[in-house]
Every structure is written in C-alpha cells, then in structure tokens.
Structure 1
C-alpha cells in the first residue's frame, strides 16, 4: 500500500532551527537597488500567512536577485496571492509568482537483506517505507526513518518495524523510540494555525541482535537499479547547498540523483496543519522519487564508495522530478547527536570543537573593500553560520544563517579604518556555539 500525502513547499529562513538548519543564504547583493538580505528576509517572514491559500507551494527569499518568490500550483492563484501580499505589507512588485508542481510525502514494496542497512524496504502496520540510515543515539543502536513512516506522525507510539515484510519475516528489526511532537510553539512567529517541526524523522531502536551495519547504505548496480551490488560507506555528515549534486537510495526508484535547487524550504503539508521548516529541495530532468521512497538516505559521493550523509528524503512532486529532504543538522537538532559512521563507533571520537576563522588572521587589517573569510571545519560540527557587521554580534554587512561554505567573499566592506566584527557559528551536538573575531577595516 502507499501512504503519502500531498504537500506544499515553502521557503523561509531560520532551519531544523534556524536556527537553522540547513540553509544557504547568499551573500548580500552589491546592487544598491536590491534590498539587503536582512530586509529581504524580514519581508519574507511576513509572507508566512500565504500557506493559508490553498495551492501555494513555497515561498522564498532569493538574495542573489534581491527578489521574493512564491510558487503556486496554477497561475490562477496569482490575484489571490497578490491581495494577501498587500495585506501583509509586502509590495507585490517585489514578488515573482511561479507555477510549481506540488510535493507529496512518499510511502508503498522488496527483498529481505541482512545485515540491515540504509536504503532497504521496511514494513510497519500496513505500510511500507525506506530505512534511512543506521545510527547510535545516546549509546543505543538503531536507525532513522521518517516520522510519517510511524503509526502516527509525531509522538512515540512504539511502532514495530519489519524488513522486508512482516508476512515473510515476522521477526521485528526495530521499535520506535523517539519521534518529537509537532506543535504550534515550534512555528516561527507569524505562522498561525499550524504545527511545525524541523525534520520529518524518527529514531527506531535496533531489535536485530546486532545484525545491522552501521555506516552502510545499499548500493545498486547503477542509477535507477534496484539490484544491490555493493554498499556505500558513510564517512561523515554534511550540509549540501544549492547547486550540489546529491544521491538517494529508495525502495521504489532505487539509486537516483539530482541537484539541490533550493535550501531551507518551509513545507506546508496539504490537508493538514503541518509545516516542515527549513528543508532542502532537489530537482532533476528525470524521475528521481516515487511513493515508497520516504525515508531514503540522501548523500553526496566522495572517493569510491565513500559518501557524506546529508539527510533523509520525505517528499516529492507528483511527476517524480523533485524531492524534498530533511538535512542532518535538522534531524540531530530534534533527535540529538547521532553516530552514523562505523569508524566513529569503534573508538572514542575526539571532543567536539567549534570552527575557527583561519584567514584573514584575526586582529589584522583587511586589504580593502573586499576580503575573503575562510574557516576550518572544527570537530563534530555539522553546520556553519557567519555574521559580519560594524558592531558586535550584528550582521549588517553579511549574515549567512546556515550552510556557510568554507570561504565567503565580501565586497561591501568599509574602508574608514573602523572595527569589523565577525561571529562564526558552529552547530555541534544539537546546539549553536560561536567564536567572535575583530578586524580593522582598510583606510586611516
């Protein structure tokens, strides 16, 4: 059977926080005719009420273009959207309205495989989903799949799971142990009548007696294949931004890939009052998702079969050419720190350490109106944010809320000899922590 619900996507920037979680804010535009990122985001937040308009798919703040974007299922909604924008105090002239297909939650069949690994079919009650990835949480082994792949989305009911079917192998492989509730208190201010979470995820304790492979995802014979030929090995966790190619393995469409087209998308689930905050959207010219792929691990491929875990898939468009996934930072924000690699379970991991600015040298004088700030990765850090401003803790020159790359270049720095303040945030073990730095602007 399939169990999926149509969803509408929307953009907003915070993340399984943001807070965040996995989003990538573009650098503040140089064009003086464009609103800066902070002003644009402030207008974007006013648009949250658009999710009450049936057929609105997403909202976005496009910092690169200095424009707001609203996705709708059909262009006939444009007038209604524009009227609501005026009511929210947002000039419709700043907003592009684009036709976008709706997104659906996925869930519907495959073989029993041992050891249990990511990408395999799982069976619960009368439904089918995909196992995301094995993990250790608070010293307990288990796996992660979608919250909507439980007996009831949000809240723990002790759902029992089988692989691949209870009818062919009635021995349980796991029991639901952690599934945070959805509540209005988790929604951003201005989003009324909704309940929210930062990820569609749940943790299931292992009942295989150790017959599960930590750090392994089933690898099929090729793109689109369902035949297991090898395994991918998880070597770390990451935060993919727009333009990055990501892969997934699911029980219906197998191994597929696409490009992250938008990050930190707020998603409204049609027919419910649920909004998923700060998710990532992936698109392709071919089919990459189908009902039953819910829970699929999403990852980037490094050397050989080594992969970096990015999150778990939970939704997709009706044409199968777009999928939505919850980033790892969001999942661990709600479920707590997870061990997802085999190597990290065999020895004590190094203590976590916040990321640091390695260039320019802290305390130095910047070279001019343009400067590139480069960070290291820290230890155990799964997401990064940066603020650059003319006062401590401000981000009036640049504010990347989450998904900061290893280097960012500013071209709008003052050249009056003033003090420039940089705050580098690190997401570690379910919380955000920062280091502060000071620089002297070029000039007198």
Structure 2
C-alpha cells in the first residue's frame, strides 16, 4: 500500500517547524507558533494549504505556543508504547497546544499520571481526563432512488443474518465502476467476525424485501474491507485486535437502479444541539445536497454536518480533528486512529452517515464517514459523534483512487423524485 497522506496540520508542521497547532473560533483560524518571527512565512504556507483544500481565504491570528506540533506528535507516539490502563483515546489537542488523554475512570487516571511521570513528556504538556467510551451506532428510511448518501441501508451476511440498520455513506467511482462507502461494522457480525477483513455482505436499501422477493431491494456487495493490523503506531495493549485509520468498507453497486454521484439526501431541517433529532422527511422542493469536492482541511472549531437515517441532518463543532480511540466488540478491542470528533446529535443507525463541511461560498465538501458516538444505552441517542476522515478512507479502500464527486459540480436538483412511504405505509419498501 502507498504511504498514508499527511493531514493539513502535518503538512504545515513539515513546512513551518515552529507550528504548534491550529483551531477555528468564530470564523477565525487561530495558529500557534513557538517562534513569532516566522508568522509571515506561516501565513503564506497556510493560505496555500487552504487553497489546496478548497477552503478559501480565512482570517488568521497567531498565538504563542509552548510546544511545537511535531513535539506533541512525537510524545503522542510515545504514549502508544507506555501501555496506559483503560485507555479510551489519545490526541494532539490543537486548541490548547497540549496532549489530551481519555481513560475510563479516576483510578485509571491516577495510574496513567503515575506512568506518564516516568516518561520524557513534560507534565505541563498533558491533559488526562476521565472520558466516556463511544459506541458503534447501528439502528431517511424510505425507498430512495437515485441511490444517495444519508439514507437507510441494511446488510445481510452468513445466510440471512443481519446486524441491523445503518446509513448509506457516499457514492464513489473506483476502477471505472460504481461503488458506495459505508462502515466496516455495518457489513459484518461484530460478535463473530469483529471488525475488518470480511467481504461478501449483501447491502439492501432501505430494507430486505419480502420472503418471496428477497433481492428486490439489493443494491450491492461488500468487496473491500481491510484487516485491522498491529503496527508500531497501534497500542497493542489497548487494541488487541489491531488498528486501522478508517472504519469503512467499499460496496460495489450491482443494481441497474439510478445512482447519484456526489449526492446526499436533504432533509427539511438542519439542527444543532441541544436538539439531537431532526426531521427525517426529505425536502420535496430540493431533495439533494450536492458535494463539490472532498477536503482534509478540518480544524478544531470548524462546523461539520452529517445526514443519517436515525437523527437526520445534525451539525456541530469539531472538538478534535485527530483522536486515536479504542472501541470494544464481542471479540476484542480495536483502535481507530486519527478520527474526527463532533459535538452534534447522533443515534443508533447513523453509522455510515456522510460527514461534510459547508464553506462560506455555499459549497459542500465531503470530510468523512461517521462510525460511532457517545450513545445513551436507554434512548439510543447521543450528543457527540466520531468520524473517519475522507483522506484515510480513500487511502485504505482505494489507495487514493476513489472519486467521491463528479467532474462537474451539481449543487442540487429540486425536482429530484423520491418515494415517500406516507402514500402507502404497507408497501414492502417501507421499514417497519
């Protein structure tokens, strides 16, 4: 496999060694520097990187940093071999120019601080906190054609066994064929197969057809889902089943049904916290959110959106742009590296939701795919979701060759047809 591409903070740090991280607040990009004299050079590099990611110009303000980004990343890699107990996540907290570590309870926090005190990491560079462990979040539910992101799917594997409802991620062209991307855990039984390495699941939209027409809603087959592996950057003490950079699987479309390249279903409303669940009704006057490009230029403080089959169109603030998180399954714990974290509504069944950012020019840019959230065990809902970044999805599933948007930008198609169940709630296409 080719070398994993750098994210924007890594690229800036390579060009500006004094760079200490960046975050967005009230539309302003705040940038940490350990050496103020390089501000002019940093401004030019950042402007170039923003143009590359189609973010456009941003107002940049500089702050004094105690640590460089590369120092923090180096210490973060050192934490991997420290074998901290009950680890939930690790990250470079760019908003605070520190390392942030989450553990399951107060006792684990005390143990972690004791272990870290014996390392070369300065105490002032660390934030160690008790944190909830995110959950994989399986649970617009109508028969939607053309096939597009944000709608309900259900996988079938091992006979007619199914893991439950998930969300259609986004369409991609790969090797000249139509594909879509959803979560790895949406295509396999976690208690039997765990995560990754399983192919052959049959995907249906929105659900499995009746017994006499099982394949009526079949849309494709899972064809790529890399194994989780143990590498030097994977904390084998926590992620005993291995690590990956994305929680995603590639599904080849094998139906003749129409297919919307670069399109996401548009619900009638977009909601922010404290509202967790938005409307699931699709906007009949403008049924489509059009993607103009993909982007890796996401900072803490940015606002990201997602559309999912359980909580609809929710949006909120990025609280981490690159967090290593450890998720348990029925066969062991897995590590998901450099995941984004957003404070926004999420629920079981939203797994696979396309995640995107809207820039001031009104264009939408694909940022990744939702895979987990901090979910209440009783309500099945939560206020924070995790997503795998587009760059890592593209690298792991297509070695950089997935095309998630068409060559020409289509912002929407107000007259696009869809098939609401309200007209016939007993139709076999409608979920129960």
Give the TM-score, by structure 2 length: 0.69
**Which of 185, 188, 197 is 1:148 aligned to?**
185
**Which of 255, 261, 267 is 1:214 aligned to?**
261
Task: Tell me what 1:249 maps to.
Answer: 307
The structure with the greater share of residues assigned to helix is 2
CA contact (8 A) 2:83 2:235 kept: no
What is the DSSP-based 3-state SS (H/G/I as helix, E as strand, rest coil) of the residue aligned with 2:117?
Answer: helix
Number of positions where the alignment pairs a residue of Structure 1 with one of Structure 2 = 326
Structure 1: which 5+ residue stretches go unaligned?
1-15, 347-444
CA contact (8 A) 1:23 1:263 kept: no
Task: Tell me what 2:402 maps to.
Answer: 338
User: 1:404-443 to 2 correspondence within 5 Å?
Assistant: none
User: 1:5-404 to 2 correspondence within 5 Å?
Assistant: 19-21=5-7, 25-26=21-22, 27-30=32-35, 34-49=66-81, 53-54=85-86, 56-62=87-93, 65-108=96-139, 110-125=141-156, 126=162, 127-151=164-188, 152=193, 153-168=195-210, 170-171=215-216, 172-185=218-231, 187-188=232-233, 191=236, 193=240, 195-223=242-270, 224-229=278-283, 230-239=287-296, 240-271=298-329, 272-284=332-344, 288-302=345-359, 306-319=363-376, 320-336=382-398, 337-343=401-407
Deviations 1:227-258 (A, max 9, x none): 01111011111122211111000010010001
Deviations 1:19-48 (A, max 9, x none): 544656444434998233333322222112
What is the DSSP-based 3-state SS (H/G/I as helix, E as strand, rest coil) of the residue aligned with 1:340?
Answer: coil
CA RMSD of aligned residues (A): 2.8
Q: Distance in 2 between matches of 1:332 and 1:166?
A: 29
Deviations 1:327-377 (A, max 9, x none): 11101111121122234599xxxxxxxxxxxxxxxxxxxxxxxxxxxxxxx
CA contact (8 A) 2:92 2:323 kept: no
Q: Distance in 2 between matches of 1:95 and 1:252?
A: 37
State the Cα distance separating 1:304 from its structure 2 match. Answer: 8.7
Compared CA separation, residues 158 and 214, structure 1 to 2 (3 A): same
What is the DSSP-based 3-state SS (H/G/I as helix, E as strand, rest coil) of the residue aligned with 2:113?
Answer: helix
State the Cα distance separating 1:302 from its structure 2 match. Answer: 4.3
Structure 2: which 5+ residue stretches go unaligned?
11-20, 23-31, 36-62, 157-161, 271-277, 377-381, 411-432
Q: Distance in 1 between matches of 2:34 and 2:241?
A: 33
CA contact (8 A) 2:354 2:369 kept: yes
Give the TM-score, by structure 1 length: 0.67
Compared CA separation, residues 77 and 231, structure 1 to 2 (3 A): same
Q: Distance in 1 between matches of 2:348 and 2:267?
A: 19
Deviations 1:397-442 (A, max 9, x none): xxxxxxxxxxxxxxxxxxxxxxxxxxxxxxxxxxxxxxxxxxxxxx
Q: Distance in 2 between matches of 1:341 and 1:63?
A: 30
State the Cα distance separating 1:199 from its structure 2 match. Answer: 0.6
State the Cα distance separating 1:49 from its structure 2 match. Answer: 4.3
Task: Tell me what 1:435 maps to.
Answer: none
CA contact (8 A) 2:234 2:242 kept: no
Compared CA separation, residues 260 and 18, structure 1 to 2 (3 A): farther
Q: Distance in 2 between matches of 1:90 and 1:344?
A: 49
Compared CA separation, residues 195 and 111, structure 1 to 2 (3 A): same
Compared CA separation, residues 134 and 40, structure 1 to 2 (3 A): closer
Task: Tell me what 1:428 maps to.
Answer: none
